[in-house]
Structure 1
Amino acid sequence: MNNLDKVRVLLPHWIEHNHGHSAEFLQWAETLAAESPEIGKMLRAAAESLQNAEHVLKNALKQAGGPLAAPGHAHSHGGGVHHHH
């Protein structure tokens, strides 16, 4: 498997992971809206940055030829969003 194929396997995971963190930042921004509006504003800005990154990653995946399943797997990455606490 060449490097481009490896990235075609990794990009869908990166996109999913990035999307999950963006959603989590927005949830915390709402949670902190009354208690700490400035932190909420920063979290919304971080979520927006991740949404921009997700757009670029999706374009990269499209340019690379779309998702490619990992060898020996029916799909590139299973499961849902990873949460780090």
Structure 2
Amino acid sequence: MSDEKLRLRKLIEHWIEHNDEHGARFEESARQAAEMGLEMVAESLKAAAEKAAGVSEHLRKALEAFE
């Protein structure tokens, strides 16, 4: 694998990890918002977590395409 391809692969791996961390934080914050009675905030954070999971899925597909 060329250096450029390897660099891109490593970057995608980093993005997956980073995005998964954000998604988990969104879910945690959604639970906290719900506990505070902030249902609209909680719903929006849950939606953000779902979108983050979708982004990670696309990034994983991109990573698989290297194989």
- Scaled by the length of structure 1, what TM-score is found? 0.71
Could you say which residue in structure 1 is the equivalent of 2:8?
7
Give the equivalent residue in structure 2 for 1:62: 64
Gap regions ≥5 residues in structure 1:
66-85
Show CA shifts across 1:19-62 (max 9, x none): 00000000000001042110000000000000000000000000
Q: Count the aligned residue pairs.
A: 64
- Which amino acid is the alignment partner of residue 66 of structure 2? A
- State the identity %: 33
Larger proportion of helix: 2
Find out whether 1:20 has 2:18 as its counterpart: no
AA at the equivalent of 1:55: E
Q: Distance in 2 between matches of 1:5 and 1:42?
A: 36
1:31-46 alignment runs, 5 A limit:
31-34=32-35, 35-46=37-48
In 1: Cα distance, 2:47 partner to 2:29 partner:
12
Which runs of 4 or more aligned residues in structure 1 lie more than 4 Å from their structure 2 counterparts after TM superposition? none
Output the aligned Cα RMSD: 1.0
Give structure 2 stretches of 5+ with no counterpart: none
